Amino acid sequence: MANVVVVGAQWGDEGKGKIVDWLSERADVIARFQGGHNAGHTLVIDGEVYKLHALPSGVVRGGKLSVIGNGVVLDPWHLLSEIERIREQGVEISTDNLMIAENTPLILPVHQDLDLIREEAAGKAKIGTTGRGIGPAYEDKVGRRTVRVADLADDATLDNRLDRLLAHHNALRKGLGVAEINRDELKAKLLEIAPKILPYAAPVWKVMAEKRKAGKRILFEGAQGALLDIDFGTYPYVTSSNVIAGQAATGTGIGPGAIDFVLGIVKAYTTRVGEGPFPTELDDADGQRLGERGHEFGTTTGRKRRCGWFDACLVRQTCATSGVNGIALTKLDVLDGFETLRICTGYDLDGQHLDYLPTAADQQARCAPLYEEVPGWSESTEGARSWADLPANAIKYVRRVEELINCPVALLSTSPERDDTILVTDPFAD
């Protein structure tokens, strides 16, 4: 059976939540493979709005196994709070439908402290972190001093992990003029939460292998977007993990050969939250209109998103780095009513024409977009469920996007409602 990876192909906020929910109805397992609770997915099901941050989108669907993979960094206190909130909305969450990889690193209060302290000290050099401890948690994972889920079950191992962790963090805090961490208090918090988290712990790599062998359909759910990837994003204004599709394998412990289809989620225009380059950003009435019509405020932070025209050059790049087989084009209806639309096809860098975004940050900042104008449409596309429901110019816009990014449209989304979706290619087709 086919296994599908869903990744954002811009700077996040592309509408992955709806698409994952749409696909999850046909999947048996839904696995988160990277990121933390700094990412947010909004699902609208029968008029009910669910806002998820740590939980995989599949939890709102009965009969599915939701997995938090080892590529995620997990704030256990936030997770329990989110579970309780979702339960209040009538969703059953138990060890029968939620599993956490034993080797998942934990986000601790010390990580959030360090995140906020360093961002404040950076001044103009800040990178726009959400301040939730994601970056410092990934740093400790690479530094081999993290506390992982399995460590909560063994007191001696937990002591060793805390000794190594605090030797590093207390030295940092001293240099930043901050009081040292109270080790006893931190350990007490972990021991208190351990019995609430450990029942969900499992060898996810083994479970995933068994599910695949049994012919189960697996949906790999990414967070954020490929332009925030630690290696291939607009560094340093990026997240702290690999976001591209290859991370689905290492972030869950399944081999890359298990991936059959990569679906890139692409918004019909471009948005970004926080600092960093944004070649097609609009500071005019058109940008304001996109933001208002698209309700562009972050699910996690509530921050207003920066808005701009569709950047085909960037999406072509992310489709290549993630090996995207097809895209899900979302929020087409936000473009309704524009007389003329613009699509970025490349950049001008000091008189040189580029068909990709360069790696150097100073060059990225100097890239001026090269636009192609296409006619807009006055008719509504909201709620369209077939090509016949779309205006001719809307179809032409979609076809031009496909040509410019060298990738076909597999799904087309025309509203937040899950059924307002046009299926072109079934990612789960064998």
Please report the pLDDT score of residue 128 as a whole number. 57
Please report the pLDDT score of residue 323 as a whole number. 97
Beta bridge partners of 35: 72
Catalytic residue among 21, 28, 37, 41: 41
Please report the pLDDT score of residue 127 as a whole number. 57
CB distance 98 to 59 below 8 Å: yes
Pairing, β 270-272 against β 41-45: unpaired
pLDDT tens-digit series, residues 281-305: 999 999 999 999 998 976 555 678 9
Spatial distance between the Cα atoms of 30 and 59, rounded to a whole number of angstroms: 8
Query: Which amino acid is present at 111?
Result: H
Catalytic residue among 13, 151, 311, 420: 13
pLDDT tens-digit series, residues 209-224: 999 999 999 999 988 8
Please report the pLDDT score of residue 217 as a whole number. 96
Sign of the CA dihedral running 342, 344, 348, 349: positive
37 is catalytic: no
CB distance 383 to 400 below 8 Å: no
The parts of the chain modelled with pLDDT lower than 70 are 1, 39, 121-130, 298-302, 430
Please report the pLDDT score of residue 130 as a whole number. 67
The residue with tokens 């077939």 is 386
Please report the pLDDT score of residue 1 as a whole number. 61
Sign of the CA dihedral running 162, 194, 201, 40: negative
283 is catalytic: no
